[in-house]
A = this chain, B = another copy of it.
């Protein structure tokens, strides 16, 4: 859009319909964000194949509807994370093609199929980590990734994990989701040569300190090739995985 607007100005100038001074003034008053967007063309592709994302928690239903309606004007691909069923029920009255995943608490509109960007394995330590894992999984699906789920393979029963290692290693990026002591990230990191994105979760109690124990464990992982995102940040892991895939596969 901006490029078109810029080109129109340049064409009018070229065609003599516009004087140089007027063109300067127009460019000057052209909102900076426009120049900004033009400038940002180099990383435009990122925005292009990334959905617009709304963090719904703490926003009113009114606000969320307004934001979604605005976004649908410019994007075919919209994600809303941390959305309740009540939010979904209200939003779909206005946007009938919106979909909702209650476990992942993710709302999404996906009007044009995203091109396939690659394959991500998502591994969780326990069943309580699944909502965070599903936030990652649903987001990745919307972004065009194939997701393989390996849930409840925590290190207390290491054979459950070992039995699935070959399958996990089929993926190009591995997301490990674990609360409590977060040891799974290190163990998976030692069993793969793929990049590992570790997501600590707030699953646990007492000295888990709402995910701090898992977070510290993952940051201190003795395995190499592990990057960490914020506690319970399933979307963040998905975004990093998709960024990696798009950089090389997109």
At the interface, yes or no: A141 with Cβ under 8 Å from chain B?
no
Chain B residues with Cβ under 8 A from A123's Cβ? none
Give the number of times this chain occurs in the complex, counting copies.
8
For A19-57 the 0/1 string (1 means CB < 8 A from B) is 110011001100111111111111101110010010101
Cross-interface CB contact of A195 among B24, B58, B210, B247, cutoff 8 Å: B247
Contact A206 B186 (CB under 8 A): no
For A220, the chain B residues whose CB sits under 8 A away are 180-181, 204, 206-208, 213-214, 230
Q: How far is the CA of A110 from the CA of B221 in the complex (A)?
A: 26
Interface residues of A in 73-118 (CB under 8 A from B): none
Contact in complex: B33, A160 (CB < 8 Å): yes
Interface size class of A (residues with CB under 8 A): 35 or more
Q: Does A72 contact B (CB under 8 A)?
A: no
> Are the C-beta atoms of A39 and B159 separated by less than 8 Å?
yes
Residues of B within 8 Å of A144, CB to CB, are: none
A209 to B94, CA, bound (A): 36
Determine which of B163, B218, B222 lies in contact with A33 in the assembled complex, contact meaning CB atoms within 8 Å: B163
CB contact between A155 and one of B186, B194, B196, B215 (< 8 Å): that residue: B186
Known: A158-B190, A206-B211. A42 touches B219 (CB 8 A): no
Chain B residues near A231 (CB-CB < 8 A): 205-207, 219
Q: Which residue of B lies closest to A57 (CB)?
A: B205
Given contacts A182-B181, A224-B240, contact A217 B216 (CB under 8 A): yes
Q: Which 4 A-B pairs have the closest CB atoms?
A: A227-B227, A46-B193, A33-B163, A206-B231
